[in-house]
A and B are shown apart, each in its own frame.
Chain A
Amino acid sequence: MGIGQKGMWADSHYRWSPLGSAILCCGVAIAPLMSADRVLGTEFDFAHNVVPILRKNCVECHGGRRHEGDFSLNTRESLLEGGAVSPGHAADSRLIDLVSSDDKDERMPKDQPPLGADEIKTLREWVDVGAPWDAGFTFAASDYDPPLRPRRPELPAAIEGRDNSVDRILDAYLKEHKVARPTPLGDAAFLRRVYLDIVGLLPTPEQLHAFLSSQDSNKREQVVDSLLGNNQAYAEHWLSFWNDLLRNDYQGTGYIDGGRTQISAWLYKSLLDNKPYDEFARELIAPSPESAGFIRGIKWRGNVNASQKQEVQFAQNVSQVFLGLNMKCASCHDSFIDRWKLSETYGLAAIYADGPLEINRCDKPTGKMAQAAWLFPELGQIDSATPKEQRLKRLAELMTDHENGRFTRTIVNRIWHRLMGRGIVHPVDAMQTPPWSADLLDYLAVHLSDDGYDLKKTIRLIVLSNAYQSESLALGSQPGGDGFVFAGPIAKRMTAEEFTDALWQLTSTGPSKPHKSVADFLTADEKQGQKSYRASLVACDPLMRSLGRPNREQVVSDRPAMLTTLEALDLSNSALLAKTLSRGTPTVLKDFAGGDGASLIDGLYAAALSRVPTESERQVALEIVGTPATEQGVEDLLWVIMMLPEYQIIR
């Protein structure tokens, strides 16, 4: 057995080309450019290997607005239309003939030095593997650059009285794309989803019954408002989202010697108060000691690569978190894949620098000093002569300027992604790529800035739309990048914290103490009457770690969507889960039994799945719990329910 042997541990994703490799391609953040419609059968790194050769030798005359000899290689389509390349057959491709020709009059590039043998070899191999091209890539003078300033799209007329602004845009969108409206979501499923999405908890059976039995036509709006009004539950749920994004945690690397500071107290309070997002961002960028941990980054003792100095971390993190930009390429050299330059990364970094900051190219000093500067001078600039504190303040102003549409678009896109399963721009840190609906994105962005940067209002607008209140799609495969057409919500995986909170909720086994640093900042009032604490308020445990609560060494904007084998193994036999289940069983028996196994089962189904079991499910469940119900039986039923896709995949 050797290479290529497939098995459960390597799952399956690579190397049964052509199909496997076609599906498996994609970086973490800026993937859709690359992933959609990728030519089958290849793993060729077009962007890094082929683009530089074409750019150096060909694009001047056959790219952008120029198409000498009626040949343009702006896109793969134009390349193929020209007939210069026969994918899979370098030997039959005119482009290869032309660049490798010995005839000086015929050889391309015209009147220029010929291509090197290595370059020709690369092009030949590239054609032989099918001339793969990153979807969306073009040499045309950037055909898409996200607008900087906010845009106010005109709302289409409401159809059939569906007057939520999101629906007005999406109903028109669906019509235009000839996509059927997704099926409306039933009350019970709505309640379960909206609870998990807004406060990260399952609705209790009582909450479920009250909701289902209410005849009020406004009941969905009422429940949304009551959830958004539950400041504590809201804060404790969204804390995890923000901790990931701001790479904040109670423990982790760097704390060992003061190379990192927490922002937990500030963050908790800010979420509790629903601090307007512009103010929130300003306090992170130009911080008080309480919120300084974000821009400080993580410092390890000793020498650090130039691209990971604290100043450069600052540039990377600020641009990624608030603008959805990836400046990591441009931290070492001018980016090959987007417009950002090394000097721009360092300009941002210099805002944070305490002294002169020398620009390093690929970890080597260049002798040039960075000048503090901001990425979008159209909105104003930073005076590099002012002290650091003022520079940060100025950056905070520029970032949150009403006219900075990129700032608002980035956050509403993140919220949309959390609620709807996929960003309007996706992945969410690839904000330089086109949205599938610019109107929707722009509308949500101005809705946010017009209405006091109140993120709860954004959430409210989205969850009250018919688009949100639709059944999630059943998808045969992962939706692609470029050609993506919205057709309805996409299911989300329960996060590690949601899973843990639900487990503690169902079994009444939550911890009686929060993490020490949380205990330090919670007020006596906030602790009053707290019987147990949420997963986001305690240190990561091995089960949460296994289920995807990240280390938070880097900014995390999207967690793995799939349960892996090792995770499934932990769910099957980890001592932690087993102990919690057995510890909680007596309470479950007490809470739900009320006499017989059937009522226990109905109670558990209501609590865990927000529905009644079918007759056949009830039969199986009865077999599991035994008659009369035993503790072991209840433990096993709880486990069975929690392992169901219906339980872990939020629909």
Chain B
Amino acid sequence: MIFSNQSRLIPPNHSGATRREFLRAMAAAGAAALMAGEPKKLFADSSGVKIEHPIAKADSCILLWMAGGMAAPDTFDPKRYQPFEVGLPVEKVMSTFPAIDTAVDNIKICQGLEQIASVMDRGTLIRSHVLPDLGHILHSRHQYHWHTGYVPPQTVAAPHIGAWMAKVLGPLNPVIPPFINIGQRLEGNGESEELKAFTTGGFFGSEYGPFNLPVAEDAMLAVRPPKGMNAGRFENRYRMFERMVKDSPQTRYASDYQQQSMLRSIDSAHRLLSSKEKAAFDLSLEKKEAAEKYGASDFGRGCLLARRLVESGARYVEVTTEYIPFVHWDTHENGHATAEQMKRDIDRPVAQLILDLEDRGMLDRTLVILASEFSRDMMIEGVPGSTAKDQSRAKTDVLKEPIHYGLHRHFTGSSSVLMFGGGTKRGFLYGETAVERPCLVTKNPISLEDMHATIMHLMGISPKTAFDVERRPFYVTKDGKGQPVMDVIA
């Protein structure tokens, strides 16, 4: 544990540091945070009622992010199946895949998700998640909303839900970053500035921000010496640095809080880089047969990495199918074929992740969520009556070629969310949507506030948790109003 020993870089007059002195030194770091504008946690909500955290049902959270708008009718909420037929009026198309049975009698999902179907008895399927259409569909804006609970722009930098967990709960294992983000490249693709705007610790600062691993396969690069530098040289360089610090003629500043805080961070970083836990980042250490079960897709490799990291004590891990405009789940045309491929990418790894966590006895304390910023529909952009502009790239009245076949419009009226473990019910179906278009929620709608409240509740965080930012309360669920959906909790 990183902080069970005193920092090697505490100056000489602290060398025999007692616990008390150590704490005092740490307090300096707290003061440092203050200077950086560290927000203050509030004790009570706006009506003066004390904020009580629920007892946590989960220690870790894995969010499997279906970036780009996963069509519920082609995945977890099958409607009437309509195969491709030239000349078919498009309004006839509800689902482009037939339904299949799952391990749970009353739950059917779409073809192509057979492996997930086989573990459905471990999960809760929610079909009634409702998201606002925001008047215009811009994926990254909806993703910003889903990941922070707030619609941009905001007057302050809203933290990602991973940052909330990192901040409120702290790390589970002190050497594993509490918020790890797998699979999203933040440079080089469309809307990357918008993605960066929410892939952040926000006002909590970078200490609680994401540890980004854009390519799962390369995760090890993030925790080993830079390319071309062997471990011996890397270690030696650090030893030399320590000697230089001790030799510094600036003795006057040896116990200065700014200096101490800086040295402590450098020391902490070095400890991760020399820890045994860093092996968790190395996918090549996974047994071949075990790794193969996750498939070869980037997302599959990300799921495997997430499992290894959670096993080592990560608090929040997100694995995304990666948002790239018009790619992956963002099907503006040729939606059927794309969805087929996407399901091939996610089916095995999601199921395997659940089985592996179960095998290791970790599923009960690990909350796994599969979600997307909204769903899709053949006909409706946003919700009925929305001002959102139709963005389909395969506009046609009748199906002429396969490119027309698929759910090409962004539908916000209902989405499916899958939850496993972490205190959720097993083999449970929640919520319902209309059989015919518009497939709006007909039973038990769950807003984003309530969805976040449920997730936070399971993690032991009150949905009213708030921090004082610029002397205003900022809540983990919008205005502290989110209510956990107790029905999905075991």
Contact = CB atoms under 8 A, between A and B. Distances in A.
Given A6-B174, A10-B166, A620-B244, A565 B27 contact: no
B266 interface: yes
Given A337-B471, A561-B258, A251 B268 contact: no
B342 interface: no
B140 to A, nearest CB: 8
Contact of B33 (A11, A475, A546): A11
Contacts of B153: 253, 297-298, 300, 304, 308, 313, 553
Contacts of A623: 240
B261 interface: yes
* Tier of interface size on chain B: 35 or more
Interface in A588-646: 614, 616-617, 620-621, 623-624, 632, 636, 639-641, 643-646
A560 B205 contact: yes
Contacts of B466: 45
B1 A563 contact: no
A553 B197 contact: yes
Nearest to B28: A477
A643 to B, nearest CB: 6
Nearest to A189: B250
Contacts of B2: 7-8
Interface stretch (A19-27, A89-97, A227-235): A19-27
A478 B39 contact: no
A475 B34 CA distance: 14
A5 B34 contact: no
Contacts of A644: 241, 244-245, 248
Interface stretch (A352-360, A458-466, A572-580): A572-580
Contacts of B256: 474-476, 491
Contacts of B137: 302
A624 B39 contact: no
Given A256-B194, A304-B153, A564-B207, A44 B43 contact: yes
Nearest to B138: A301
Interface in B153-184: 153-157, 166-167, 169-178
Contacts of A326: 470-471
A5 B135 CA distance: 43
B460 interface: yes
A43 B43 contact: yes
A376 interface: no
Interface stretch (A48-56, A159-167, A393-401, A434-442): A48-56
B265 A9 contact: no
A20 B229 CA distance: 39
Contact of A10 (B23, B36, B167, B200): B167
A643 B35 CA distance: 21
Interface string A414-443: 000000000000010000000000000000
B303 to A, nearest CB: 23
A529 interface: no
Contacts of B40: 24-27, 34, 43
Interface stretch (B122-130, B270-278, B351-359): B270-278
B409 to A, nearest CB: 16
Given A6-B170, A7-B170, A11-B29, A554 B468 contact: no
A8 B3 contact: yes
Given A20-B30, A24-B33, A651 B48 contact: no
Contacts of B272: 8, 565, 569
A307 interface: yes
Task: Tell me which of B26, B226, B249 has the highest count of chain A C-beta atoms within 10 A of its own C-beta.
Answer: B226
A154 interface: no
B438 interface: no
B241 A640 contact: yes
Contact of A26 (B1, B34, B268): B34
A560 B193 CA distance: 21
A648 to B, nearest CB: 7
A3 interface: yes
Given A23-B34, A566-B211, A617-B247, A13 B206 contact: no
B442 interface: no
Task: Tell me which of A301, A545, A575 has the highest count of chain B C-beta atoms within 10 A of its own C-beta.
Answer: A301
B247 A614 contact: yes
Contact of B171 (A5, A572, A640): A5
Contacts of B134: 302-303
A574 B473 CA distance: 36
A562 B170 CA distance: 19
Contacts of A316: 155
A486 interface: no
Contact of A616 (B41, B211, B237, B247): B247
A99 B35 CA distance: 39
A204 interface: no
A288 B188 CA distance: 33
Interface in B174-214: 174-178, 187, 191, 193-194, 196-197, 200, 203, 205-209, 211
Contacts of B262: 562-563, 568, 645, 648-649
B152 A474 contact: no
A125 interface: yes
Nearest to B209: A566
B472 interface: yes
A10 B258 contact: no
A3 B460 contact: yes
B171 A10 contact: yes
B170 to A, nearest CB: 4
Contact of A300 (B32, B141, B244): B141
A478 B35 contact: yes
B434 interface: no
Contacts of B469: 27-28
Interface in A266-323: 297-298, 300-305, 307-308, 313, 316
Contact of A562 (B35, B48, B250): B35
Interface string A198-235: 00000000000000000000000000000000000000
A316 to B, nearest CB: 6
Nearest to A327: B155
A96 to B, nearest CB: 14
A48 B46 contact: yes
A121 B48 contact: yes
Given A7-B174, A10-B208, A474 B247 contact: no
B193 A252 contact: yes
B207 A566 contact: yes
Given A28-B156, A563-B266, A617-B247, A478 B473 contact: no
Given A9-B171, A300-B153, A122 B44 contact: yes
Contacts of B178: 9-10
B142 to A, nearest CB: 9
B157 A566 contact: no
Nearest to A129: B43
A86 interface: no
Given A19-B23, A26-B38, A2 B56 contact: yes
B268 to A, nearest CB: 3
A639 B56 CA distance: 43
B170 A4 contact: yes
A251 B460 CA distance: 38
A60 interface: no
Nearest to A313: B153
Nearest to A561: B35
5 contacts: A9-B207, A26-B39, A300-B152, A553-B152, A564-B205
Interface of B: 1-3, 23, 26-44, 46-50, 53, 56, 59, 132, 134-138, 141, 151-157, 166-167, 169-178, 187, 191, 193-194, 196-197, 200, 203, 205-209, 211, 221-229, 233-234, 236-237, 240-241, 243-245, 247-250, 252-253, 255-259, 261-266, 268-273, 313, 388, 460, 466, 468-473
Given A28-B470, A122-B49, 18 more contacts: A1-B313, A7-B174, A11-B29, A11-B207, A24-B38, A29-B471, A45-B468, A45-B473, A49-B48, A118-B49, A122-B44, A477-B257, A478-B35, A562-B265, A564-B265, A568-B262, A641-B244, A649-B258
